[in-house]
Structure 1
Amino acid sequence: MGDVIAAGTAVSICLLGIAQDGGRPQPGCQKECCTGLASIAENKRHPVSLGIIGSDGSGHLFEATRDLAWQLQLWEKSTGIFPQINSLWITHAHHGHIDGLGLFGKTAMDVRDLPLYTSLSFFRLMKNTPHWLEMLSQGVFFPKPFESANEFSPLSLQSECEVGFSVIPLKIPHRDELSDTHAMIIKGPNKTLLFLPDHDSWEETLTLHGQDSIRELLDKYEIDIALIDGTFWSSIELTGRSQAKVPHPPVSQTLEMVGQRMEGDPLIYFIHLNHTNPLHNENSPEYQKVIEMGWNIGFEGMVINL
């Protein structure tokens, strides 16, 4: 785990979930990967989410999952700071990233004018979805649509202060049935982090950003730490359905592309793990291979100082 920090001294990121949208155990799964996990709290995993505490003490949540209550408790436990949510950020419209939006409404948290950073595409979806449109009309959210590749910072709690970090949303090729998809580059005072929980393939992502390799992509954006899509270990992991319908670059392929970690390479943490992924098991050969190659698997409650 990273260093626990105090508000006003740095910018910290807390990893609040490492699972794919369905979590672990996944509803309806009767396979060995999920059987019996519901009764063992330490084996549960929650949908991907990040919490950022700015240098001004403000709190910023990336993704709105159904496990928000648990994740806020984890955030406080991991940092020693009660997380006030001063802005909310959404990468795309797939259900595990947005099915907690309703919790901000009058039936639960009953917030008002919460800055909500989304793409224009996602904002249009909100206006065309009755439940979300109602929340907008009630003033739950203060929409702040962003444009891809534009760097900006959320507003500070105090007009004379800054939050200490900026964000660059990057357009990413992913199944865009309802809205487009963005990764987030988060630039702190000392380090820059890439949050890339979902994309279809490295080939498409690298082509879109004009790069030939993962290292070149990370170097282009001066990334020190990358939290990247580790949904599946292999391309034949799912049974009973076509994995091609839910494309993600397998971790095994990513490892082939990056090879052994070398001195000066960014840190890579695999996140967004499907319930079938053997990387959930620290004793698996797959987990050990990632570690032996010098890379990492994210864990819930991990704190990174920027």
Structure 2
Amino acid sequence: MRITILGAAAGGGFPQWNCNCRNCAGVRNGTVRARPRTQSSIFVRSDEHADGVLFNASPDVLEQIRSHPALQPARGLRDSAIAGVVLIDGQIDHATGLFMLRERATPLPLWCTDPVAEDLSSGNPILRVLGHYCGVRRERIALDGSSFEVPGAPGLGLRALPLSSKAAPYSPHREQPVPGDNIGMLITDTRRGTTLFYAPGLGEITPAVFDAMAGADAVMVDGTFWTDDEMIRLGLSRKTARDIGHLAQSGPGGMIEWLSRLPSRTGRWLIHVNNTNPILDEDSPERADLTRAGIRVCEDGMEIHL
């Protein structure tokens, strides 16, 4: 299985267009050793010659496709290696890119849960708008643990797990979450038996989620914030990481502590990193803490083979 990190940043990307925090200002003026990142999305295929699945369609999807020739194999006048799109949630930074895929000649194959489909048909009616262009062939992601495949992406088996997190701010159940607002995905190479657990938005690690993580060969999980009060301390928000559905990396019960409990063989990556997170600074003590813990930070363009 080949996993391409198309984008590794949280909403707004890095540097964020209107932000002058230490990270954003530093990467612009060269005083912080950090790499710019687009908004989070991955592309997964069973091998380098196969078509694959786009997990989340970020607002930066056109730039991401241009930057990764494997997604445009040029086998015909119009072509794409994207066999289908799977949405982890209905957040703006994970769904707006669907608009950019509207030039298809056939309806866009899209997998999402019922709550996400509802949100993208009402509060943020992307699916209805796309009906005026290519249209959408929406497929339901079940939450009962059953596996499914995306036709045209051979050798990949997918299974969803409902997560404790938050729906998008425009959702009517933002403050009263329902199962399916946010999911993690077990992605299995059915030929080799290797598995990735992918969860870019993760507010709590329940026993079922930890079991899925512990059984995977690699995990790629929520790297949004370093501390729970990060945005409050910087004066950028009145909400904690948990308030908006993210588990911070540091502190008791944080992501680092949970990842340290996984088997030693498990690969550990953080994705969906907010522009304020000090781990973006490659010389920061926080990045050094991750390195000592065997945790890596995703970068745009990174290729992972399982």
Superposition TM-score tier, normalisation by shorter sequence: 0.7 to 0.9
Matched, 1:151 2:147: yes
SS in 2 for 1:186: strand
2:249 to 243, 248, 251: 251
- Over 3 Å counting, the alpha-carbon distance change for 1:131 and 1:218 in structure 2 is closer
Matched, 1:225 2:215: no
Deviation of the 1:81 alpha carbon: 5.7
- Over 3 Å counting, the alpha-carbon distance change for 1:258 and 1:14 in structure 2 is closer
**1:82-111: CA deviation from partner (whole Å, max 9, x where unpaired):** 652210111111111111111122xxx344
Quote the Cα distance in structure 2 between the aligned partners of 1:150 and 1:137: 32
- Over 3 Å counting, the alpha-carbon distance change for 1:232 and 1:112 in structure 2 is same
When the two chains are superposed, the root-mean-square deviation of aligned CA atoms in Å is: 2.6
Alignment: residue pair count: 276
Deviation of the 1:192 alpha carbon: 0.1
SS in 1 for 2:38: coil
Deviation of the 1:127 alpha carbon: 2.9
Question: Do 1:50 and 1:61's aligned partners in 2 also have CA atoms closer than 8 Å?
Answer: yes
Matched, 1:296 2:296: yes
SS in 2 for 1:43: coil
The 5 Å alignment of 1:48-67 reads 48-55=40-47, 57-67=50-60
Matched, 1:99 2:105: no
Quote the Cα distance in structure 2 between the aligned partners of 1:200 and 1:175: 8
Specify the code of the residue in structure 2 equivalent to 1:186: I
TM-score (norm 1): 0.81
Question: Do 1:38 and 1:44's aligned partners in 2 also have CA atoms closer than 8 Å?
Answer: no
The 5 Å alignment of 1:1-306 reads 11-35=1-25, 37=27, 43-55=35-47, 57-76=50-69, 84-105=81-102, 109-128=103-122, 129-136=124-131, 138-148=133-143, 149-156=145-152, 163-177=154-168, 178=171, 180-188=181-189, 189-190=191-192, 191-202=194-205, 206-207=206-207, 209=208, 214=210, 216-219=211-214, 222-238=215-231, 239-240=234-235, 241-244=237-240, 245-252=243-250, 253-259=254-260, 263-264=264-265, 266-306=266-306
- Over 3 Å counting, the alpha-carbon distance change for 1:275 and 1:111 in structure 2 is farther
- Over 3 Å counting, the alpha-carbon distance change for 1:38 and 1:249 in structure 2 is same
SS in 2 for 1:257: helix
Deviation of the 1:246 alpha carbon: 2.0
Specify the code of the residue in structure 2 equivalent to 1:48: S
SS in 2 for 1:86: strand
**1:112-146: CA deviation from partner (whole Å, max 9, x where unpaired):** 22210111122222332445313135443211111
Deviation of the 1:261 alpha carbon: 7.1
> Structure 1: where are the runs of 5+ without partners?
1-10, 157-161
SS in 1 for 2:185: strand
Question: Percent identity at matched positions?
Answer: 23
Specify the code of the residue in structure 2 equivalent to 1:298: C
- Over 3 Å counting, the alpha-carbon distance change for 1:237 and 1:84 in structure 2 is same
Quote the Cα distance in structure 2 between the aligned partners of 1:196 and 1:63: 11
Deviation of the 1:73 alpha carbon: 2.6
Specify the code of the residue in structure 1 equivalent to 2:302: M
